[in-house]
């Protein structure tokens, strides 16, 4: 190892200090020129290690200056010049900055370098930061608080100044630097602190005072900070004005490219937010896509960032603003566009339907005594208006497609002869039953009950609450009869249940009754018959089949449910009819006929005056009596007698045992709702008669809950 292994030499080009053994500069790879002069200079100052031969070889001779003086100044550290761009200290011989390659200017200042010191106790007055060519020596902090203060002092001059010279203000909430003219934070919207304005004025005055002082050789004179602030604020205002003009120009360009369907699309978006169903209907009627998404250009036209977002569809908006009626329309038209979209009377007049629900909820009463069951105070039976028969055939077809559940109608009429199988009842007595469409989200039983009575849906779950409270508070009456009936059914299948299992099954039934959307069982139909105070007849399939048509179970819902826990004088004898298919209930309603008709639903076989009557069969297509559910052992084999006691039962000329359903006069609200619903089809009929052409019916856009016949 050489005795000069620790010696270093300065590179002529980049001033990097290299070890003596290096032949080239480690940083810039420049070749080493000459050896050190002697050991005494080597041991002395590090800045005197440059070789004299190199100094004298290429150094230009100045007239009147000795060579020795020029040589010493060339490598004197105090004679370095500071770059105006990056403040890097370069050797006097360099004509360009070694760091950023900026050319040396004539006014480049000479740095006064001082030897570094590791003594932390050295106190030195900080040099003003007004000139970028001066270095500010850092004083080592003695405590964490001093370190934080020193760090804030170093960052403060940079944080408040923008590129244009205007002083920005920092948001107190998110520390974002905003333009001086902004009154709110551009990032988070926080209101600007008023104290900052006063501090900004004081800062501007102090800077103006400093700018009026005589400039030193390190800080050339320049415009005052106040003037820079004013210029920056003006520039910001001009920029905002130009942005506004550009935005208006952009909006005009977008509007010029808009078509009629695009304007209807924007109107539909605003209609969802404001709850205007007609604007959505107008958009969908002309073939608008419900799955269309809002674009960035359309956001400019809508102008409400709080309500709309890029990528939103009408469905997103309906969910966000809880527009259930509009959501039903959109889901139906989106999921199954090829199927007929449902238009129910309760959705054509949502305000009337809501008022009806309030009336029903207010009419619910609870019986005092040992049987605390809820009950309704009024008997109502829903039927289709006879004016439907006066519409042209194409309009009738459209109406039935939009009102009925055609899949249920087909399954109960064609696949299995469950309803309308008697020509005597359908033709002679005019008692054809129609399956109304309703929701399939687990509330179909409650919906079908209210549809068969009032023509509306149980959207506010008032009937479900009454059902749950009835079973919970009247459990002492319902539970023994339910247990005895289910025990007889279990014995017929040769199995039995333990008492704990009975309790668990009963708890499940109570839980299902109180959960919106939960599927209901036979017990719930039995309880609803007591709430309605009238019999409920269910016409259903005998077997439950899969979507492939395979039989997967036995359906026990078909039959008659009598309110036998009430006194007979407290109940009405006019029943309602429901249909059951594949785990789904539907309301089965008849159609009114003219009072002057000699036969049909208006026939008065029992001397009832002008009261209209529909006839519901109490026998199946094979001539067997429909089962009566939840009878005890003592009541078995008395089914026909009990049917005659709880309903007005007659036998037709063809030998069919039927129950009379009294079609009472509709409630005023129900009549108004049906007239509003039927007016649309009358207008379509009038348009067809005016044009003398039968055009295919237009696609409707209203739905009861966004589901189709397939579902």
Q: Are the CB atoms for 641 and 361 separated by under 8 Å?
A: no
Q: What would the pLDDT profile of 347-371 be if each residue is shown by its tens digit?
A: 889 999 999 999 999 999 998 888 9
Residue 664 pLDDT > 60: yes
Tokens 């026990």 locate to 556
User: Given this model, what pLDDT does residue 169 score?
Assistant: 83
Confidence of residue 199 (pLDDT cuts 50, 70, 90): very low
Q: Tokens at residue 622, please?
A: 């094979």
404: β partners? 436
pTM of whole model > 0.85? Answer: no
User: Given this model, what pLDDT does residue 445 score?
Assistant: 95
DSSP 207-254: HHHHHHSPP-TTS-----HHHHHHHHHHHHHHHHHHHHHHHHHHHHHH
User: Given this model, what pLDDT does residue 124 score?
Assistant: 39
Confidence of residue 221 (pLDDT cuts 50, 70, 90): very low
Catalytic-role residue among 444, 524, 571, 629:
444
Instruction: Name the percent of the chain lying above pLDDT 70.
Output: 69
Sheet holding 649-651, edge to edge: 612-617, 657-663, 649-651
Q: What average pLDDT does the segment 143-171 reach?
A: 55
User: Given this model, what pLDDT does residue 574 score?
Assistant: 96
3-state secondary structure of 667: coil
What b/e readout covers 271-302, taking b as 16+ CB neighbours within 10 angstroms? bbbeebbebbbbbbeeebebebebeebbeebe
Q: Are the CB atoms for 470 and 531 separated by under 8 Å?
A: yes
Catalytic-role residue among 524, 530, 584, 629:
584
| Helix, strand, coil abundance in the chain, percent, nearest 5 | 40, 10, 45
Half-sphere exposure of 444 (CA within 13 A, CB side): 25
Residue 80 pLDDT > 50: yes
Confidence of residue 544 (pLDDT cuts 50, 70, 90): confident
CA pair distance 142, 230, nearest whole angstrom: 40
CA pair distance 338, 257, nearest whole angstrom: 31
Start-to-end CA span in the chain (Å): 92
User: Given this model, what pLDDT does residue 652 score?
Assistant: 94
Q: Tokens at residue 458, please?
A: 């149980």
Residue 224 pLDDT > 80: no
Confidence of residue 340 (pLDDT cuts 50, 70, 90): low
Candidates 525, 546, 700, 544; CA nearest to 628 is: 525
384: β partners? 591
Confidence of residue 413 (pLDDT cuts 50, 70, 90): very high
161: β partners? 167
**Which contacts qualify for 415-423: CB closer than 8 Å, 24 or more apart?**
416/541, 416/542, 417/621, 418/539, 418/540, 418/541, 418/558, 418/579, 418/620, 418/621, 419/539, 419/579, 419/588, 421/621, 422/617, 422/654, 422/656
Q: Are the CB atoms for 525 and 445 separated by under 8 Å?
A: yes
Q: What average pLDDT does the segment 618-634 reach?
A: 94
CA pair distance 409, 586, nearest whole angstrom: 10
**Which contacts qualify for 253-256: CB closer than 8 Å, 24 or more apart?**
254/297, 254/298, 254/300, 254/301, 255/301
Which has the higher per-residue pLDDT, 572 or 156?
Answer: 572
Q: What average pLDDT does the segment 225-240 reach?
A: 55
Give the CA-trace dihedral at 636, 639, 643, 644, to 10 degrees.
-100
CA pair distance 420, 614, nearest whole angstrom: 12
Residue 129 pLDDT > 90: no
Which has the higher per-residue pLDDT, 332 or 252?
Answer: 252
CA pair distance 259, 390, nearest whole angstrom: 40
**All domains of the chain in start order, with CATH:** 8-75 (no CATH), 160-233 (no CATH), 258-335 (1.25.40.560), 376-459+520-691 (no CATH)
User: Given this model, what pLDDT does residue 234 score?
Assistant: 58
Output Rg (C-alpha) for the chain, integer angstroms: 47
For residue 218, indicate whether it is catalytic: no
538: Cβ contacts below 8 Å, ≥ 6 apart: 525, 557, 558, 559, 560, 561, 577, 578, 579, 580, 585
**For 287-291, 459-463, 570-574, which range has the lowest pLDDT when averaged over its residues?**
287-291
Confidence of residue 600 (pLDDT cuts 50, 70, 90): very low
**For 46-55, 376-385, 613-622, which range has the lowest pLDDT when averaged over its residues?**
46-55
Confidence of residue 153 (pLDDT cuts 50, 70, 90): low
Q: What average pLDDT does the segment 660-682 reach?
A: 91
Q: What average pLDDT does the segment 656-678 reach?
A: 92
Which has the higher per-residue pLDDT, 550 or 532?
Answer: 532
Q: What average pLDDT does the segment 606-625 reach?
A: 81
Which has the higher per-residue pLDDT, 57 or 244?
Answer: 244
Q: Tokens at residue 651, please?
A: 């036998």
User: Given this model, what pLDDT does residue 18 score?
Assistant: 84
Residue 213 pLDDT > 50: no
Residue 505 pLDDT > 90: yes
3-state secondary structure of 144: helix
User: Given this model, what pLDDT does residue 669 score?
Assistant: 93
Residue 138 pLDDT > 60: no
**What is the average pLDDT value for the chain, to the nearest integer?**
76
For residue 444, indicate whether it is catalytic: yes
**Which contacts qualify for 409-416: CB closer than 8 Å, 24 or more apart?**
409/434, 409/435, 411/541, 411/581, 411/582, 412/539, 412/541, 412/579, 412/581, 416/541, 416/542
Confidence of residue 29 (pLDDT cuts 50, 70, 90): confident
Q: What would the pLDDT profile of 552-563 be if each residue is shown by its tens digit?
A: 778 889 999 999
> What is the maximal distance between C-alpha atoms in the chain?
146
**For 218-227, 488-497, 600-609, which range has the lowest pLDDT when averaged over its residues?**
600-609
82: β partners? 89
């Amino acid at each position: 190892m050489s005795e000069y292994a620790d010696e270093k030499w300065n590179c002529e080009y980049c001033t990097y200090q290299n070890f003596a053994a290096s032949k080239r500069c480690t940083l810039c790879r420049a070749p080493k020129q000459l050896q050190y002069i002697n050991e005494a200079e080597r041991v002395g100052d590090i800045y005197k290690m440059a070789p004299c031969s190199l100094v004298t070889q290429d150094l230009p001779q100045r007239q009147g200056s000795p060579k020795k003086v020029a040589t010493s100044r060339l490598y004197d550290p105090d004679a370095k010049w500071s770059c105006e761009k990056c403040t890097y200290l370069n050797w006097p011989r360099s004509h360009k900055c070694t760091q950023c390659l900026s050319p040396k200017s004539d006014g480049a200042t000479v740095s006064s370098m001082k030897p570094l010191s590791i003594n932390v106790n050295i106190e030195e007055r900080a040099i003003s930061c007004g000139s970028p060519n001066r270095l500010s020596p850092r004083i080592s902090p003695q405590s964490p608080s001093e370190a934080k203060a020193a760090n804030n002092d170093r960052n403060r001059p940079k944080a408040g100044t923008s590129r244009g010279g205007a002083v920005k203000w920092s948001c107190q909430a998110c520390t974002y630097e905003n333009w001086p003219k902004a009154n709110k934070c551009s990032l988070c919207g926080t209101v600007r602190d008023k104290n900052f304005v006063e501090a900004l004025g004081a800062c501007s005055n102090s800077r103006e005072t400093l700018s009026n002082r005589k400039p030193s050789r390190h800080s050339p004179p320049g415009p005052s900070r106040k003037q820079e602030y004013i210029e920056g604020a003006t520039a910001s205002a001009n920029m905002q004005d130009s942005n506004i003009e550009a935005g208006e120009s952009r909006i005009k360009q977008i509007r010029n490219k808009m078509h009629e369907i695009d304007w209807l699309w924007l109107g539909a978006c605003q209609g969802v937010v404001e709850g205007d169903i007609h604007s959505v209907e107008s958009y969908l009627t002309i073939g608008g896509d419900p799955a269309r998404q809002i674009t960035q250009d359309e956001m400019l036209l809508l102008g409400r960032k709080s309500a709309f977002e890029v990528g939103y569809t009408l469905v997103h908006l309906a969910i966000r603003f809880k527009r259930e009626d509009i959501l039903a329309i959109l889901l139906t038209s989106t999921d199954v566009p090829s199927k007929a979209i449902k238009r129910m009377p309760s959705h054509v007049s949502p305000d009337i339907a809501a008022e009806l629900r309030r009336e029903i909820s207010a009419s619910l009463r609870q019986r005092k005594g040992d049987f605390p069951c809820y009950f309704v105070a009024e008997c109502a039976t829903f039927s289709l208006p006879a004016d439907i028969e006066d519409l042209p055939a194409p309009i009738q077809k459209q109406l039935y497609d939009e009102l009925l559940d055609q899949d249920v109608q087909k399954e109960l009429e064609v696949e299995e002869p469950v309803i309308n199988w008697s020509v005597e009842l359908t033709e002679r007595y005019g008692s054809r039953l129609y399956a109304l469409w309703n929701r399939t989200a687990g509330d179909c039983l409650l919906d079908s009950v209210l549809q068969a009575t009032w023509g509306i849906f149980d959207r506010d779950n008032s009937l479900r609450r009454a059902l749950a409270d009835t079973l919970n508070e009247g459990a002492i009456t319902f539970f023994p009869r339910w247990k005895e009936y289910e025990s007889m059914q279990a014995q017929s299948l040769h199995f039995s249940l333990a008492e704990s299992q009975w309790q668990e099954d009963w708890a499940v039934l109570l839980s299902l009754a109180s959960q919106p959307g939960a599927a209901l069982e036979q017990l719930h139909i039995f309880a609803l018959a007591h709430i309605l105070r009238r019999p409920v007849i269910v016409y259903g399939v005998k077997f439950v089949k899969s979507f492939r048509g395979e039989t997967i179970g036995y359906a026990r819902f078909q039959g008659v449910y009598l309110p036998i826990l009430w006194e007979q004088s407290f109940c009405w004898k006019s029943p309602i009819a429901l249909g059951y298919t594949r785990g789904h209930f539907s309301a089965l309603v008849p159609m009114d006929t003219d009072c002057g008709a000699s036969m049909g639903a208006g026939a008065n076989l029992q001397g009832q005056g002008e009261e209209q009557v529909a006839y519901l069969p109490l026998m199946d297509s094979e001539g067997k009596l429909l089962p009566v559910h939840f009878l005890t052992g003592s009541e078995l084999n008395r089914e026909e007698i009990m049917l005659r006691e709880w309903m007005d039962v007659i036998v037709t000329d063809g030998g069919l045992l039927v129950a009379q359903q009294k079609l009472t006069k509709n409630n005023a609200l129900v009549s108004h709702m049906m007239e509003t619903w039927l007016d649309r089809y009358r207008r379509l009929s009038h348009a067809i008669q005016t044009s003398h052409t039968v055009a295919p019916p237009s696609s409707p856009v209203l739905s009861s809950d966004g589901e189709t016949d397939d579902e």
